[in-house]
Amino acid sequence: LGDLILSDGADDNANSADYTFAIYGESFSNGQPEPIEVTIRTLLQDGARLMTQGYGNREPTFLVVVGGADSTALGRGEEALAAQMGCRNELGLTPPDGWAPESVFDVETSSFGHAPDDLLEVNSNERVYVLRFVCAPFVRPAEMDMVEAIPVTTAAPVVTVISPANSTTEWTARIGTLSDQGAFLRVATTRSPRAVWTGVTSFDLTGRHYVSLDVTPCGKIPLLRIGGVLARRISSVAGISGTSGRLRHTYYVPDASVASMEFGVDFPAFGSVFDFTNLTASNAPPYTGTTKQTTRSLTVAGSARTQGSLALSTATGSLGTVIVHTSTEAVTGTPALRPRRLSGGTITSDTNAVSGSTELLSSSPTYEIPIAEIVRGKHQLVVRLNAPSTTPITVTWSAKVNQGGTLLQEVAGSTVVTPPAAGYQVFAVANLDLPTLKVPSVSTASVRLVLGGTGVLDEGWLFHGPWTCFEAGSSSRAWIETPDLDDPSPAVYIGTAADQSDAYGAYSMMKAWGTHTFKGETTVFMVSSGSPDVASAFSYYRRYFNFVPSLDP
């Protein structure tokens, strides 16, 4: 507890030569995270739909025995306990066998009281105290985790096809049966399928660190092994150019010349298939339109959701306008609209556009988004416009469900936005419930979105969940920090020094605040209007419901 050691017979505390602490083991309770459950209004006649909105604090309690040579020593022991109570603190629990790491409880406040036991004090010169703690709901390890930044480049993206994977040439199945399905390959097996690419000659990945494979969604994340070593997965995303309804899984591989690569998924022992195509390598991470829009997947360890700090940086310039969207949903379609563009007007190249080009809203740019790649529910429609002046701009929008060519259930509206200055600006223009019409989970329908108005459009996005937008200007670094016990409100800092010594709050530059949380597979979509080589790193504490099991990756 703080700098006190309360384990049985602990006598190595500072200034504790004359008193000791011990814990009554049978008295220990680590409390429980209190679920905050909300009833959802429905048309059910019986029963109710509930949602766990979050968790309240937990209250561990236990008895501590203070021992000493005399009553003066016992008083000094109580004094040492009192110094740790009633304040924010840390309470560490080490399991009895010593195998698992310490579980740390973040203490908000605490209290203690004397449990009188005359016989114990007379016979053993010991006093018993009841300790009560009010703690954050989840425990954590003592040390933070760091998801390190990935090396990036300012060079123009170059994609090299290693194998189109549309024939069995250069492919074998280590587990299962490999077959040619025309446009893709399939490995079928009763257990975890494994597909192995073995080139006629080795493929040099020097400078081309990003290896991608397009995989039909199967509910599992494919693993890539090179030389028996697991490669680091960077992202899994649908809806980017060329995926055709598949998920593009991308991995980071250091400079190497590889003769074979093994892909596979872990399934239980029943019939399963692994469908894949298009094995490529690139010098750039997955991007949308330009490398100013990138997607990264974070594997966040722990059994409970957590908070953390997302750090963005560029080594060659400024960040400009920054947008960050996070999602823990299983659906991983890109929120960007440009890859979904179906029709519109003349496209004009523009290096200042995050999509790489612009078009007039008056040309009614139209987008088609498969419902399978949409998280059903509320979405915020956001656009980036090139404003010639501060004159108000009208943005119109309409959304329909396209079922086999029949357009159904239109929802439409318009918004007038006022640019604070001439130039590119980001605006949230609508809240949409998508799809606009209820369809079955297996539906092949899509959402058709049409924009219109008087402005010049760079890019649009549909954000489901938290998103943050701010102007970083000439700053080369930014930190997005989620609310935690140290600071119960979100924070965004910008600066240039890696240690944050010159950073300051970007509050006057904020356009949208999002409260980001992270759990399991978390997809991070990032936009920077400045430099195309923005790297990201994430630091956090793993969170667990009761005990920290291991610190293994």
pLDDT of residue 489: 83
317 lies in the same domain as 258 = no
Residue-wise pLDDT for 436-452, tens only, equals 999 988 788 999 999 99
Residue 250 and residue 210 in contact, taking contact as beta carbons nearer than 8 Å: yes
Long-range contacts, 148-152 (Cβ 8 Å, 24+)? 148/537, 149/311, 149/313, 149/535, 149/536, 149/537, 150/234, 150/252, 150/285, 150/296, 150/535, 150/536, 151/209, 151/535, 152/284, 152/285, 152/291, 152/533, 152/534, 152/535
169 lies in the same domain as 279 = yes
Picking from 512, 158, 102, 93, the residue whose alpha carbon sits closest to that of residue 326 is 512
The strand pairing partners of 428, in sequence order, are 382
Q: What is the mean pLDDT of residues 388-409?
A: 95
Per-residue burial over 273-311, b = 16 or more CB atoms within 10 Å of its CB, e = otherwise: bbbbbbbbbbbbbbbbbbbbbbbbbbebbbbbbbbbbbb
pLDDT of residue 548: 93
275 lies in the same domain as 169 = yes
434 lies in the same domain as 448 = yes
Residues 6 or more apart whose CB falls under 8 angstroms from that of 247 comprise 214, 215, 216, 217, 236, 237, 238, 332
Whether 339 maps to a domain, the answer reads no
Q: Provide DSSP, 229-248.
A: EEPEEEEEEBSSTT-TTSEE
pLDDT at 13 over 60: no
| pLDDT confidence band for 350 (50 / 70 / 90) | very high
Least confident range of 1-5, 358-362, 414-418: 1-5
CATH number at residue 305: 2.60.120
Residue 422 and residue 388 in contact, taking contact as beta carbons nearer than 8 Å: yes
Residue 336 and residue 355 in contact, taking contact as beta carbons nearer than 8 Å: yes
440 lies in the same domain as 514 = no
238 lies in the same domain as 313 = no
pLDDT at 154 over 80: no
What distance lies between CA 515 and its chain's CA centroid?
A: 12
pLDDT of residue 7: 74
pLDDT at 492 over 60: yes
pLDDT at 551 over 90: no
- End-to-end CA gap in the chain: 28
Per-residue burial over 495-509, b = 16 or more CB atoms within 10 Å of its CB, e = otherwise: beeeeeeebeebeeb
412 lies in the same domain as 525 = no
pLDDT of residue 360: 97
Least confident range of 194-203, 483-492, 525-534: 483-492
pTM of the model: 0.85
pLDDT of residue 257: 87
Residue-wise pLDDT for 39-56, tens only, equals 988 888 888 889 898 999
| pLDDT confidence band for 520 (50 / 70 / 90) | confident
Residue 467 and residue 323 in contact, taking contact as beta carbons nearer than 8 Å: yes
Hey, is 328 helix, strand or coil? coil
Q: What is the mean pLDDT of residues 201-208?
A: 82
pLDDT of residue 390: 94
Whether 11 maps to a domain, the answer reads no
pLDDT of residue 18: 81
pLDDT of residue 136: 94
Whether 520 maps to a domain, the answer reads yes
182 lies in the same domain as 242 = yes
The domain of 253 spans: 159-283
| pLDDT confidence band for 553 (50 / 70 / 90) | low
pLDDT of residue 227: 84
Q: What is the mean pLDDT of residues 188-200?
A: 88
pLDDT at 6 over 90: no
pLDDT of residue 310: 93
Q: Provide DSSP, 438-503.
A: ---TT---EEEEEEEESSEEEEEEEE-S-EEEEE-TT-SEEEEE---SS-SS-EEEEES-TTSTT-
User: Which percentage of the chain shows pLDDT scores above 90?
Assistant: 56
Whether 429 maps to a domain, the answer reads yes
User: Which percentage of the chain shows pLDDT scores above 70?
Assistant: 95
27 lies in the same domain as 121 = yes
CATH number at residue 358: 2.60.120.260
Residue-wise pLDDT for 89-140, tens only, equals 999 998 878 788 999 999 999 999 999 888 888 888 899 999 999 999 999 9
Residue 182 and residue 166 in contact, taking contact as beta carbons nearer than 8 Å: yes
pLDDT of residue 331: 65
Q: Tokens for 505?
A: 């709050």
Whether 472 maps to a domain, the answer reads yes
Q: What is the mean pLDDT of residues 498-504?
A: 94
Whether 438 maps to a domain, the answer reads yes
Q: What is the mean pLDDT of the chain?
A: 89
Angle at 382 between CA 376 and CA 385, to 5 degrees: 155
pLDDT of residue 457: 97
**Is the backbone of residue 259 left (phi > 0), alpha (psi -120 to 50) or beta?**
alpha
Domain boundary among 441, 463, 485: 463
Hey, is 218 helix, strand or coil? coil
420 lies in the same domain as 480 = no
Number of structural domains in the chain: 4
458 lies in the same domain as 540 = no
pLDDT at 177 over 90: yes
Residue 161 and residue 208 in contact, taking contact as beta carbons nearer than 8 Å: no
> Taken in order 218, 249, 537, 547, is the CA torsion positive or negative?
positive
Residue-wise pLDDT for 250-289, tens only, equals 998 887 888 899 998 887 656 688 999 999 998 888 888 8
Whether 511 maps to a domain, the answer reads yes
Residue 5 DSSP one-character state: -
Domain boundary among 421, 444, 463: 463
pLDDT at 147 over 90: no
pLDDT of residue 522: 87
CATH number at residue 163: 2.60.120.430
pLDDT at 375 over 60: yes
| pLDDT confidence band for 83 (50 / 70 / 90) | very high
> Taken in order 206, 521, 297, 332, is the CA torsion positive or negative?
positive
The strand pairing partners of 278, in sequence order, are none
Whether 253 maps to a domain, the answer reads yes
Q: Tokens for 360?
A: 């007039």
Amino acid at 227: G
Domain boundary among 463, 497, 529: 463
Residue-wise pLDDT for 205-246, tens only, equals 887 888 999 998 777 888 999 988 888 888 888 766 666 678
298 lies in the same domain as 363 = no
